[in-house]
């Protein structure tokens, strides 16, 4: 089975993210002829100097293109004979940092673009800090537009040195650098002869060969009920199944499990996958679990191994990215949603705010506005079962929802 690499791109406005992805898709022959013809026609209307405007490949909506900005997270899928890829292209504007938080949430690799003329900027720092918070296994700093600095090794080395100095405090696990020109195609799919001083791989080869590490993922088994199946028909009178996805680890027939938050212990009687009974179900498999005892279970409850219980509490300390255009109002009623579990909640305390320049925690004034990254204490109406995000991305992450508007107002990781 071919491996899948999920990665996202981030950077300042006009750093060339969309062009880089377009070049990657175009030069690796991952675009069909009819799309190329369409793009060639559209490129003429945009007034670009090139025959084909590669940025159009990732600019999602026509209205966005007409405004000249990429607003949402655009996902692209492509494959080579070595690997499959999913790309999340996130916007560069400071007001869309929240979109980056979303695009990065399940990626294996962050590609942070830096304009060779400008070097490290506040947005570079902000994107790097979010990558650190989200436990990104790999960060690739792509120093783009090298053609505009005469392919200068000295300029490249200076940016590399500046970034490593800043990143020391972030505890990023693996940092790589590639000098490139997305517009000219240097070091994107093929090695550039204009930067013979660079001895590393071009971008595509780097993506094809980098080790895929699932970010901070534990092997401890976790399952959350999405749907309780009770047909109550004549032929399925006693059928009672709990449908959901194995979030991590594995489940097997006869295994001793505990239902949370009630704490009731029981045993797995039967496991169904695609309406067939199986003895074992592993990570990411959609399953229906049947339990030996008639336990009262509802959507959002967790079924976990009795010997490896998560924490189940009514208070969590978390790092959140505030995503709402409206500023946080102390005491406002919110909903916390973790996968299929949802409960009323309140932010009891805004403990601190993260300074994007220094990564230090600033004393909080209790306020949160769009794109602020804060450490908070959240109190929930019902107990939530969770692991720290460092141990399990799925059970350690959540979103906050405005109870009145149903808008998502924050995304968070549990400490």
Return the closest-CA partner of residue 321 out of 159, 142, 55, 127: 127
Asked if 220 and 387 count as a contact pair (C-beta separation under 8 A), the reply is yes
**How far apart are the C-alpha atoms of 265 and 6, rounded to whole Å?**
37
C-alpha angle 386-392-398 in degrees, rounded to nearest 5: 55
**How far apart are the C-alpha atoms of 69 and 350, rounded to whole Å?**
33
Q: Residue 181 carries which DSSP code?
A: B
pLDDT at 64: 39
pLDDT at 69: 38
Asked if 283 and 250 count as a contact pair (C-beta separation under 8 A), the reply is yes
Asked if 289 and 229 count as a contact pair (C-beta separation under 8 A), the reply is no
pLDDT at 232: 66
Per-residue pLDDT tens for 56-96?
555 443 333 344 433 345 567 788 888 988 887 665 444 45
Ordered domains of the chain (ranges, CATH): 4-209 (3.40.50.300), 222-305 (2.40.30.10), 311-414 (2.40.30.10)
Place of tokens 């100097």: 49
Return the closest-CA partner of residue 21 out of 195, 191, 180: 180
pLDDT at 314: 97
- Whether pTM exceeds 0.85: no
What does the block give as tokens for 224? Answer: 């959350």
- Output the CA torsion sign for 45, 47, 51, 55: negative
**How far apart are the C-alpha atoms of 7 and 324, rounded to whole Å?**
25
What does the block give as tokens for 136? Answer: 């990104």
Which region holds residue 189: left if phi is over 0, alpha if psi is between -120 and 50, else beta? alpha
What does the block give as tokens for 330? Answer: 């102390």
> Which residues of the chain fall short of a pLDDT of 70?
1, 13-18, 27-75, 89-105, 214-218, 232-237, 357
Residue 60: CB partners within 8 Å, gap ≥ 6? Answer: 70, 71, 72, 74
Return the closest-CA partner of residue 103 out of 227, 214, 234, 10: 10
pLDDT at 76: 75
pLDDT at 44: 56
CB atoms within 10 A of CB 203: 24
Identify the burial level of 15 via C-beta atoms within 10 angstroms of its C-beta, where 0-12 means exposed, 13-18 middle and 19 or more buried.
buried
What does the block give as tokens for 57? Answer: 């490949």
pLDDT at 393: 81
Place of tokens 């405007």: 53
Per-residue pLDDT tens for 133-187?
888 889 999 999 999 999 999 999 999 999 999 998 888 879 999 999 988 889 9
- Per-residue CA distances from 299 to 46, 261, 271 (Å): 49, 12, 18
């Amino acid at each position: 089975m071919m491996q899948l690499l999920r990665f996202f791109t981030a950077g300042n406005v006009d750093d060339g993210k969309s062009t880089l992805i377009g070049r990657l898709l175009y030069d690796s022959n991952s675009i069909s002829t009819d799309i190329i013809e369409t793009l060639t026609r559209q490129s003429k209307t945009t007034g670009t100097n090139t025959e084909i405007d590669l940025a159009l490949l990732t600019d999602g909506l026509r209205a966005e293109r007409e405004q000249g900005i990429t607003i949402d997270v655009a996902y692209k899928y492509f494959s080579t004979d070595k690997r499959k890829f999913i790309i999340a292209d996130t916007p560069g504007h400071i007001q869309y940092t929240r979109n980056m938080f979303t695009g990065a949430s399940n990626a294996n690799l962050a590609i942070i673009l830096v304009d060779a003329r400008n070097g490290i900027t506040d947005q570079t720092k902000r994107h790097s800090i979010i990558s650190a918070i989200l436990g990104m296994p790999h960060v690739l700093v792509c120093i783009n537009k090298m053609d505009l600095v005469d392919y200068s090794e000295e300029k490249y080395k200076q940016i590399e040195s500046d970034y490593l100095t800043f990143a020391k405090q972030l505890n990023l696990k693996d940092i790589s650098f590639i000098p490139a020109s997305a517009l000219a195609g240097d070091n994107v799919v093929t090695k550039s002869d204009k930067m013979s001083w660079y001895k590393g791989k071009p971008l595509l080869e780097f993506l094809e060969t980098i080790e895929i590490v699932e970010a901070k993922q534990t092997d401890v088994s976790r399952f959350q009920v999405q749907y309780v199946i009770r047909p109550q028909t004549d032929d399925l009178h006693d059928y009672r199944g709990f449908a959901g996805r194995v979030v991590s680890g594995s489940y097997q027939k006869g295994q001793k499990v505990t239902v949370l938050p009630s704490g009731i212990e029981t045993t797995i009687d039967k496991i169904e996958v695609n309406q067939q009974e199986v003895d074992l179900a592993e990570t990411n498999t959609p399953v229906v679990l049947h339990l030996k005892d008639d336990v009262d279970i509802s959507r959002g409850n967790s079924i976990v191994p009795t010997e490896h219980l998560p924490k189940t509490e009514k208070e969590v300390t978390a790092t959140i990215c505030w995503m709402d255009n409206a500023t946080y109002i102390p005491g406002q009623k919110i909903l916390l949603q973790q996968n299929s579990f949802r409960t009323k909640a309140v932010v009891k305390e805004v403990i601190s705010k993260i300074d994007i320049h220094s990564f230090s925690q600033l004393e909080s004034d209790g306020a949160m506005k769009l794109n602020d990254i804060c450490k908070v204490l959240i109190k929930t109406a019902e107990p939530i079962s969770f692991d720290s995000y460092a141990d399990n991305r799925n059970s350690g992450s959540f979103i906050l929802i405005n109870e009145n508007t149903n808008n998502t107002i924050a995304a968070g990781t549990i400490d």
